[in-house]
């Protein structure tokens, strides 16, 4: 892998091949994802939706990894905190709201899955299931199909560090290594698996496991989106060049409780959480843009107003939209049944 570490700070995005326009778009999506997440938490607290599982603090890294991928050709198998990733892939806030409100028009599952269970044919996002890590062997299968068909596409799969202790992770990595498949394994290490801290999950680095499967593994600072982008861009190039898989362990921290059903103060302190909130990479990214003449207070105000409007409209739309008709409950589960048979 080529190192770009010596490049001076002010030219970081250009040195990575990111245009001014792209780097500004990255920031806009980071903020959009954060605001969507905050609204989702509010809606759950207000009793309007049942459940939310937050991706706050993981957005900058998720945007960076998405921007390193090819949206037209690659396959995406995200996990439940990947809101910023799927927004970068092209999902709309309206679609996320339809999923949050579990409405029939939700492209992810027509409201049949819990929110955060992404799946969208249009965006090449492969539908996922609730048992964690089951998406890993699926991603390997997509990579195998791409290789067999000679298609230039890479599959990217996300999961948490707790989940990486499941057998599916090891089986997927082993097979992908043997077959040299174009797949990027992304472990978003946010320090906890519900109440279990990383120190009680694993005695080693997740990234080091790649060595045992015969491909490279990197640990990258999730608070440095440029570095995340660089590592993913190179992993993508390796995959397309037929050099096989890469494992990336993105170091981050889950600042929210595990889900809206969790009380995290039962197993960690407010001081610990506040310390990590203070490391938020979004303001730092804004500062970078301002220092390079790409952002201003006026643009920030305009962005926040646009996002507010978009989220307000999506919330209203999601709330008013109809649930899936009961006759559709068996669609995509069994062969199409007639309305009479359902009755
Ligand atoms: C096979 C399986 N076991 C347990 C669960 C319940 N569960 C859902 S999320 C989760 C924690 C996962 O932690 P991690 O992989 O670190 O991801 P994070 O939620 O921290 O992003 C658990 C145990 C599940 N969904 N599937
Ligand atoms: Mg975790």
- Here the CATH number for the domain that contains residue 237 is 3.40.50.970
Task: Tell how far the Cα of 96 is from the centroid of ligand 1, in angstroms.
Answer: 21
Query: Which of the listed residues 54, 129, 132 should we mutate to test ligand 1's pocket, taking the one with most ligand atoms within 8 A of CB?
Result: 132
Residue 209, token pair as written in the block? 């496991």
Residue 2 counted as domain residue:
no
Average pLDDT of the residues in 21-47: 98
How much is the CA Rg of the chain, to the nearest whole Å? 20
pLDDT at site 331 = 80
Residue 279 counted as domain residue:
yes
Domain count, the chain: 1
Residue 316 counted as domain residue:
yes
Residue whose CA lies nearest to ligand 1 atom number 2: 131
Query: Which of the listed residues 163, 200, 267 should we mutate to test ligand 1's pocket, taking the one with most ligand atoms within 8 A of CB?
Result: 163
C-alpha–C-alpha distance, residues 29 and 85, integer Å: 9
Task: Tell how far the Cα of 280 is from the centroid of ligand 2, in angstroms.
Answer: 17
Q: Is residue 4's pLDDT more than 60?
A: no
Report the atom number in ligand 1 closest to the C-alpha of 188.
21
Strand partners of residue 144? none
Q: Is residue 27's pLDDT more than 90?
A: yes
In the block, residue with structure tokens 């962005």: 303
Residue 5 counted as domain residue:
no
Residue whose CA lies nearest to ligand 1 atom number 15: 160
pLDDT, tens digit (0-9, with 9 covering 90-100), for 258-307? 999 999 999 999 999 999 999 999 999 999 999 999 999 999 999 999 99
C-alpha–C-alpha distance, residues 228 and 221, integer Å: 7
pLDDT at site 333 = 79
Residue 273 counted as domain residue:
yes
Coil, helix or strand for 343?
coil
In the block, residue with structure tokens 């926040």: 304
Report the atom number in ligand 1 closest to the C-alpha of 194.
11
Report the atom number in ligand 1 closest to the C-alpha of 53.
19
Task: Tell how far the Cα of 242 is from the centroid of ligand 1, in angstroms.
Answer: 32
Coil, helix or strand for 157?
strand
Rounded to two decimals, the pTM is: 0.95
């Amino acid at each position: 892998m080529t190192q770009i570490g010596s490049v001076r700070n002010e030219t970081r995005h250009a040195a990575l091949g990111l245009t001014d326009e792209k780097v500004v778009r990255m920031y806009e999506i980071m903020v959009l994802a954060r605001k969507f997440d905050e609204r989702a938490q509010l809606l759950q607290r207000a009793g309007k939706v049942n459940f939310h599982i937050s991706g706050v603090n993981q957005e900058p890294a998720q945007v960076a990894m998405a921007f390193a991928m090819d949206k037209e050709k690659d396959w995406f198998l995200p996990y439940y905190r990947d809101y910023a990733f799927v927004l970068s892939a092209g999902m709309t806030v309206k679609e996320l709201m339809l999923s949050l409100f579990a409405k029939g028009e939700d492209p992810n599952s027509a409201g049949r899955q819990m929110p955060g269970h992404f799946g969208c044919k249009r965006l090449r996002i492969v539908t996922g299931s609730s048992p964690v890590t089951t998406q890993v062997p699926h991603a390997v299968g997509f990579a195998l199909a791409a290789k067999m068909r000679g298609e230039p596409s890479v599959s990217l799969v996300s999961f948490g560090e707790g989940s990486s202790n499941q057998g599916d992770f090891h089986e997927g990595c082993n097979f992908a290594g043997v077959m040299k498949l174009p797949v990027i394994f992304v472990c978003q290490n946010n320090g906890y698996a519900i109440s279990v801290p990383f120190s009680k999950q694993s005695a080693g680095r997740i990234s080091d496991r790649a060595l045992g499967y015969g491909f490279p593994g990197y640990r990258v600072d999730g608070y440095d989106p440029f570095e995340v982008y660089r590592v993913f861009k190179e992993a993508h190039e390796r995959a397309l060049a037929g050099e096989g898989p890469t494992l990336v362990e993105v170091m981050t921290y889950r600042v929210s409780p595990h889900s809206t059903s969790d009380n995290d103060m039962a197993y960690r302190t407010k001081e610990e959480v506040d310390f990590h909130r203070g490391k938020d990479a979004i303001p730092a990214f804004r500062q970078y843009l301002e220092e390079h003449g790409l952002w201003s207070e006026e643009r920030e105000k305009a962005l926040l107003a646009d996002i507010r409007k978009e989220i307000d409209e999506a919330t209203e739309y999601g709330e008013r939209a109809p649930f899936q008709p009961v006759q559709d409950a068996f669609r995509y589960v069994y062969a199409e049944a007639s309305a009479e048979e359902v009755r």
